[in-house]
């Protein structure tokens, strides 16, 4: 009993530390990748090739003046940045990143908890992150955050649906909501081969959920200053930032689990490389793809965004589910 608690605590600490490390270096990666895509260099002088930049940024934000908007709704104003990172921390509990290992004669699962409704849980906690944006937008009592919050609410309702529908095909094939089961199913072949359309829809919907370009209407710098976090400064602003990048990491991790074979190596002769390393490599690849998207496509107009969701993605997702069901029925030999 005691050993189980100790193991759980250690796993929690390691996962949290790794998530924070990913978030810190996610911000650096964003700046470096955007720099190089624009033929610049990005952060360069803080440590070798700007390697210590995240810590310098953190220190700077920590010592900046903490401005509280005068006419704000104080409770929600303080609550919004507090809960910004909560969905990501809740979500990391169900993400498996390796096969069970045996240490000191004790079997350790490389996942915090393998609950049988992991995917439902993930969808539930990830939709929680809309509260951060809506609270932040509402409470500051200022026009730009309010517009950002409104846009975000509409965007979330549209794309949450698409996100849920896109992973239905995967669940139908595997027959389980557990992420561990889904990854085990992909030992021979990645799910993206069976469900390419679902993967594309998932990535589009996830990008929209993360409020990243080309779907970053809630924070659209050129129209809304900073969107929902316009009135925040110092560490409160940093919390929004942390939340955004933590959500990116989690979304990438879920994409890896659902479609890219989790911790399994893509080619058999490299299977001696430990699972968690493969997991991280794939995670970084998906993360990089999100950054790459950001610097390639311009922002959607608002009606285009909604139209794209309801007119194209929703029918596509439904067709994907129908086609998956039809093929499964056919393979089983008809009704």
What are the residues binding another protein (CB under 8 A)?
33, 35-41, 44, 292-293, 295-297
State the nearest-atom distance from the C-beta of 208 to another protein, in Å. 15
- Secondary structure class of 230 (helix, strand, coil): coil
Q: How far is the CB of 35 from another protein (least distance, A)?
A: 7
CB of 50 to another protein, least distance (A): 12
Q: How far is the CB of 39 from another protein (least distance, A)?
A: 5
- Residue 36 or 301: which CB sits closer to another protein? 36
Q: How far is the CB of 45 from another protein (least distance, A)?
A: 9
Our CB check for another protein shows the closer of 268 and 298 to be: 298
Smallest gap, in angstroms, from Cβ of residue 260 to another protein? 18
Alpha helices in the chain (DSSP H): 2-37, 53-62, 74-82, 86-91, 118-127, 129-139, 143-166, 168-174, 179-185, 191-194, 196-209, 221-224, 234-259, 275-294, 302-307, 314-331
Contacts of 257 (CB under 8 A, 6+ apart): 95, 96, 179, 182, 183
Q: Assess contact for 178 and 114: CB atoms under 8 A.
A: yes
Closest to another protein by CB, 133 or 255: 255
Residue matched to tokens 């209407």 = 217
Residue whose token pair is 């110092």? 234
- Separation between Cα atoms, residue 181 and residue 208, nearest integer Å: 27
Please, which residue, 25 or 128, has the CB nearer to another protein? 25
**Cα–Cα distance for residue pair 108/127, rounded to 1 Å:** 30
Please tell me the distance from the alpha carbon of residue 35 to that of residue 118, in angstroms, as a whole number.
37
Nearer to another protein, 38 or 113 (CB): 38
Give whichever of 43 and 145 is closer to another protein, judged by the CB atom.
Answer: 43
Phi, psi (rounded to 5 degrees) for 107: -80, 125
**Do residues 291 and 38 touch, judged by C-beta distance below 8 A?**
no
In the chain, the DSSP E strands lie at: 101-103, 106-108
> Which residue from 309, 319, 304 is spatially nearest to 197, judged by alpha carbons?
319
Contact predicate 275/98, CB 8 Å: yes
- Minimum separation from the CB atom of position 204 to another protein (A): 11
Q: Identify whether the C-beta of residue 172 lies closer than 8 Å to the C-beta of residue 182.
A: no
Of residues 10 and 41, the one with the C-beta less far from another protein = 41
Residue 111 Cβ vs another protein, minimum distance, rounded to whole Å = 33
Q: Does residue 171 contact residue 245 with C-beta atoms inside 8 Å?
A: no
Which one, 295 or 302, has the nearer CB to another protein?
A: 295
């Amino acid at each position: 009993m005691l050993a189980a608690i100790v193991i759980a605590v250690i796993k929690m600490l390691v996962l949290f530390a790794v998530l924070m490390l990913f978030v810190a270096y996610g911000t650096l990666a964003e700046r470096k990748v955007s720099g190089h895509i624009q033929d610049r260099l990005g952060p360069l002088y803080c440590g070798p090739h700007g390697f210590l930049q995240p810590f310098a940024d953190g220190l700077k934000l920590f010592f900046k003046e903490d401005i509280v908007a005068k006419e704000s709704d104080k409770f929600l104003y303080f609550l919004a940045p507090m809960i910004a990172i909560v969905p990501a921390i809740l979500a990391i509990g169900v993400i498996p990143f390796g096969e069970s290992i045996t240490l000191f004669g004790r079997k350790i699962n490389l996942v915090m908890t393998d609950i049988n409704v992991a995917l439902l849980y993930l969808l539930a906690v990830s939709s929680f992150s809309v509260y951060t944006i809506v609270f932040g937008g509402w409470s500051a009592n200022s026009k730009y955050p309010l517009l950002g919050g409104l846009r975000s609410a509409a965007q979330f309702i549209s794309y949450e649906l698409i996100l849920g529908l896109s992973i239905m095909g995967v669940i139908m094939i595997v027959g389980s909501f557990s992420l561990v089961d889904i990854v085990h199913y992909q030992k021979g072949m990645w799910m993206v081969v069976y469900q390419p359309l679902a993967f594309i829809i998932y990535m589009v919907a996830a990008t929209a959920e993360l409020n990243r370009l080309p779907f970053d209407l809630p924070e659209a710098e050129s129209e809304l200053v900073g969107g929902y976090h316009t009135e925040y400064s110092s560490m409160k602003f940093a919390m929004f930032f942390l939340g955004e990048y933590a959500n990116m990491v989690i979304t990438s991790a879920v994409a890896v689990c659902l479609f890219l074979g989790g911790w399994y190596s893509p080619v058999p002769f490299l299977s001696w490389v430990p699972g968690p390393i493969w997991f991280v490599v794939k995670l970084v690849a998906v993360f990089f793809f999100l950054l790459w998207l950001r610097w390639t496509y311009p922002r959607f107009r608002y009606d285009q965004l909604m139209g794209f969701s309801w007119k194209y993605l929703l029918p596509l997702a439904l067709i994907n589910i129908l086609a998956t069901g039809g093929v499964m029925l056919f393979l089983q030999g008809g009704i």
